[in-house]
Amino acid sequence: MNLHFQRFPAPAKLNLTLLITGKRTDGYHLLDSDFRFIDFGDDIDIAVRDDGCIVLETPTPGVEPESDLTVRAARLLQQASGSRLGASLRVTKRIPMGGGLGGGSSDAATVLLALNKLWGCGLSRQQLMTLGVQLGADVPVFIFGRNARARGIGEQLEAIDLPAAWYVVCKPPVSVPTGPVFQLFSQKLLTGEVRFSIMRSLFDATQKQNDLQSVVTAMYPAVNEALNRLNEYGSPLMTGSGACVFLELESEDQAKSVFQSLSKDMVGFVAKGLATHPLYDGEA
Ligand SMILES: C[C@@](CO)(OP(=O)(O)O)[C@H](O)COP(=O)(O)OP(=O)(O)OC[C@H]1O[C@@H](n2ccc(N)nc2=O)[C@H](O)[C@@H]1O
Ligand SMILES: Nc1ncnc2c1ncn2[C@@H]1O[C@H](COP(=O)(O)OP(=O)(O)O)[C@@H](O)[C@H]1O
């Protein structure tokens, strides 16, 4: 079979603020969070196959190919669209796993967006978002394509305009699993150590916070250390359920200079905030 690969970007996200506002009866927590895409991410090379097979040529260490979100996204679209076509996938992984940067979710969203076009499925953006949330709470925002305020578990999205900004992102040497962080948050609710954040309009709108941060720093001192290092230059925050932490700066020069002054053992990068997802085409 003659395979013709095309490259599609899968950007990382930052949660510029993340409030936990309640809990659904199925145990999922309700959020109020501002998502921003950044110019750092994975790349996925995709070739259409005429035999219907979904082949991941670059398995991620520690993730069974069948449970990889790229493969699950392709199979889900096959089922939903009835397409008889298949795909070969090559993932160039840069986004650290368990980093709160949404790597797996972004990979899944990119596969859904790309194969919808390559297979000619013709599903709307909204239909793809409905499929995407079955794979993970973070998938819909990547399909939505604009920086967004997300509510519900991440499926109620409202586009937001954000000023140009650069980010120093640090990756402490730990990988944080999302489920246990929410579980611990729930336990601490019972003991009164954490609370649900009431409506955001009652807060100072400029105040940014992450309600999962205290839970994660209690479990992982390395996350606290990274926050302390960045604290010397501004007000850093953890993204998502961690482990990455970031500091927003107004210029690229400022961001680079902060990054350079961090000690060499701090793993991280400088990224620009994007206005939209690179695959966003303006269509609703
Ligand atoms: C916290 C956030 C914020 O952006 O980001 P990450 O740190 O994972 O990137 C997300 O809401 C995470 O979304 P995602 O990573 O897709 O989570 P999922 O795979 O759907 O859920 C993993 C587990 O976390 C818990 N979970 C997840 C989301 C949510 N709103 N409430 C929850 O209680 C559930 O126990 C679920 O089984
Ligand atoms: N293509 C993929 N890329 C990253 N993680 C994946 C992928 N497929 C499945 N996973 C699983 O999803 C988990 C969450 O990964 P990821 O979304 O990158 O981090 P986070 O939820 O912290 O933003 C990983 O620990 C891994 O087990």
- 215-257 confidence digits (pLDDT tens): 999 999 999 999 999 999 999 999 999 999 999 999 999 999 9
pLDDT band at 201, cuts 50/70/90?
low
**Is the shortest distance between the CB of 42 and ligand 2 below 6 Å?**
no
Residue 277 domain flag: no
Cα separation, 105 vs 121, in Å, equals 21
The alpha-helical segments, DSSP class H, found in 87-124 are 103-118
Mutate to test the pocket of ligand 1, among 25, 135, 138 (most ligand atoms within 8 A of CB): 138
**Residues with Cβ within 8 Å of residue 29, at least 6 apart in sequence:** 20, 22, 23, 153, 182, 185, 186
Q: How many residues make up the chain in this entry?
A: 284
The response to whether 101 counts as a known ligand-binding position is yes
Does the structure show a pLDDT above 70 at 117? yes
Upstream peptide bond of 108 is cis (omega within 30 degrees of 0): no
Q: List the residue whose alpha carbon is closest to atom 12 of ligand 2.
A: 104
pLDDT tens column, 128-181: 999 999 999 999 999 999 999 999 998 899 999 999 999 999 999 999 999 999
Same domain, yes or no, for 88 and 177? no
| Buried-state track 95-115, b at ≥16 Cβ within 10 A, e below 16 | bbebbbbbbbbbbbbbbbbbb
Mutate to test the pocket of ligand 2, among 69, 212, 219 (most ligand atoms within 8 A of CB): 69
Residue 282: exposure state from Cβ atoms within 10 A (0-12, 13-18, ≥19): exposed
Ligand located closest to 44 CA: 2
Cα separation, 116 vs 214, in Å, equals 40
Same domain, yes or no, for 81 and 188? no
Residue 284 domain flag: no
| pLDDT value for 264 | 78
* The pTM of the whole model exceeds 0.90: yes
Q: How far is the CA of 241 from the centre of ligand 1 (A)?
A: 8
Q: Which domain holds residue 233?
A: 166-272
Give the CATH number of the domain where residue 215 resides. 3.30.70.890
**H or E stretch including 229?**
helix 221-231
pLDDT tens column, 24-58: 999 999 999 999 999 999 999 999 999 999 999 99
Does the structure show a pLDDT above 90 at 265? no
Task: Give 248 or 203, the one with higher predicted confidence.
Answer: 248
Same domain, yes or no, for 151 and 205? no
